[in-house]
Structures are given as C-alpha cells and as structure tokens.
C-alpha cells in the first residue's frame, strides 16, 4: 500500500477523529479540518481550523492531498430538525465546498452519508445500494441532497466521489441515539427504554472509520454508493442485555415492541464494499460494546 496524503473534514468529530487515527496508523500523512480544534492534538497529523462552508479555505486545504474523507456534518434527526437552516448549510453547502475543491484538483472524495436515506421499511427486508431512497426527515433530506450533488459531480465533471451509508453508529462520544454505556459508566443503575424488539444494524465507530480509510486508499471506486455498516440485524433488546452483563447491578427496563421514534429498516448489505475495497467489520455488537467499555475504564483513547 502506497502512503497517501489525506484531508479529513470534521476531524474533531465522532467519526472524523478516528479516521485520522487509523489513517496515521496506516502510514498516511493526514491534514484534519474542522471548525473547532480537536480536544487533543492529532498524533502524527496536522490540523487547520476552518468552516466547511468556507469554499476558499477548503480549496486551500485540498491543495496537494491525494484523497478527501468528508465527515463534517450536522448529524442526526434531532439536531437537524432543531436548526434545519444550519443543517442544510453545513450538510449541503459543505459537500459543495468539497466537491468544488475536488473538481479543481482532480482529488477523489469519500463522502460519509447515512442509511436513514432508505426511510422507514416495516418489512425489514435487507437493503442493498439499489434500494429506493425515501427520506422522512430534515437530516435525511440534507444527506440525500448531498448524495445527489456527489452523483451529479461524478457524472458531469468526472469527480471520483462515492458516498458511504452507515447505520446506528455507536461508540465513545457518539452524538445521536442512546446506547446505555455512557449512562452506566456515569453510575446510573436504572435505565428505562422503549422498543426492545426494534431491529438495528449496529455499526461500531471503529469499523466505520477504518472502512472510510480503506475506501480512500482504494482510489477511484466503480460505484457511486456503498453501504458501510455492521451488516447484521440485532435488536435494542440485544443491546440492553449486552450492556447489563458489563455492569453488575444495572437494570435496563425495555418495553416490548418497536420504537416509533426510530427509523425502522432491515440490514444493510455490505458485499459491495467488501468486493471493491475489502471492508469487513471486525466487531460484533458484543465485542464492540466490550471494546468501548474497556477503553473507557482503561483511560484509552476512544
């Protein structure tokens, strides 16, 4: 594998900081870009403080890099609905900044997207990348617009961009959802939840971050969209039982049924990602939760 220079946007965020970690560990030179400085220095990497909506700043950052991993975004249905204008500006105008810079410099782009674009699928049938999209909220809509721009730049200008749809991403410092671990680590002993039977294709953030780096290493990819998830359908009840086993004295009371507040869909099929850049999740839900807890208890970086 030839070492590359990678630009990672959203480098101080939940996914971006781990993309930086894995890229550096695999021998790449990394420039991180975010509107705020990371909590800790990027080990082995460089950092520029800039807003993803600032096209000039993004264009300057792209100069001399071999690939862009675009993670900067307003993430999740609740934050996007709380400020739809900001979500649209960041998620849509932000990807436009990246695409324009990539077009000017012929730089490949790995665009982090979301499986929420598949909408609600009560039949929970498996979803490959050809499944119709059906955004149901502001967040979904902004990411759909971003994907549409990526596809248009790919077709119109020949930009080597692909989008990567991920699902129910869990891990330290996550910004959406409730995975119980942080509440248990904080000392809670009684947690109430709904939707014990709700199916989820859980994705450990370390699998996702490594997969994005692998995609950037592969160079121009043949497909415009890839699923990048755990690739196994589990339930919220499975999650609760796993977390309980790590915390003696913890009780997670989960009402049966489906949570109407969560997206309902089947597993994301990940064969395309395996075929084109070797993606294989290393973590099951069991050992992903165990790794998260062990890192937190051992004071290891997430």
Catalytic residues: 139
Question: Which of these, 97, 113, 117, lies nearest to 105 by C-alpha position?
Answer: 97
**CA 73 centroid distance within chain:** 10
Question: Which of these, 9, 27, 39, lies nearest to 110 by C-alpha position?
Answer: 9
Angstrom CA distances, 186 to 11, 151, 253, 290, 293, stand at 26, 43, 18, 16, 12
Q: How many other C-beta atoms are found inside a 10 Å radius of the C-beta of residue 256?
A: 10
Q: How many other C-beta atoms are found inside a 10 Å radius of the C-beta of residue 277?
A: 21
Label the pairing between strands 109-114 and 161-166: parallel
DSSP string of 97-112, one letter each residue: HHHHHHHHHT--EEEE
Buried b (16+ CB within 10 A) or exposed e, 166-201: bbbbbbbebebeebbbebbeeeeeebebbbbebbbb
Dmax of the chain from CA atoms?
A: 58
């Amino acid at each position: 594998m030839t070492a590359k220079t990678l630009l990672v946007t959203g480098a101080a965020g939940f996914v971006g900081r781990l993309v930086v970690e894995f890229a550096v560990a695999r021998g790449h030179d990394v420039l991180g870009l975010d509107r705020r400085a990371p909590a800790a220095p990027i080990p082995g990497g460089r950092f520029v403080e800039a807003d993803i909506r600032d096209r000039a700043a993004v264009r300057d950052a792209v100069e001399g890099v071999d690939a862009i991993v675009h993670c900067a975004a307003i993430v999740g249905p609740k934050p996007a609905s709380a400020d739809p204008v900001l979500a649209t500006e960041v998620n849509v105008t932000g990807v436009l900044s990246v695409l324009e810079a990539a077009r000017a410099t012929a730089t490949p782009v790995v665009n982090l997207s979301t499986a929420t674009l598949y909408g609600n699928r009560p039949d929970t049938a498996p979803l490959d990348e050809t499944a119709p999209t059906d955004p149901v909220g502001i967040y979904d809509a902004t990411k759909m617009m971003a994907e549409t721009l990526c596809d248009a730049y790919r077709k119109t200008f020949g930009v080597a961009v692909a989008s990567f749809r991920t699902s129910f991403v869990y891990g330290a410092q996550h910004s959406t959802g409730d995975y119980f671990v942080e509440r248990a680590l904080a000392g809670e002993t009684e947690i109430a939840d709904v939707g014990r039977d709700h199916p989820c294709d859980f994705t450990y953030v370390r699998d996702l971050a490594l997969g994005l780096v692998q995609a950037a290493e592969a160079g121009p990819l043949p497909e415009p969209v890839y699923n990048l998830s755990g690739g196994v359908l589990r339930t919220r009840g499975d999650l609760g039982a796993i977390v309980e086993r790590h915390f003696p004295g913890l009780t997670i009371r989960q009402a049966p049924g489906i949570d109407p507040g969560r997206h309902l869909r089947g597993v994301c099929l990940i064969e395309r990602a395996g075929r084109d850049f070797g993606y294989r999740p290393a973590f099951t839900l069991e050992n992903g939760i165990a790794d998260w807890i062990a890192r937190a208890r051992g004071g290891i970086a997430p």
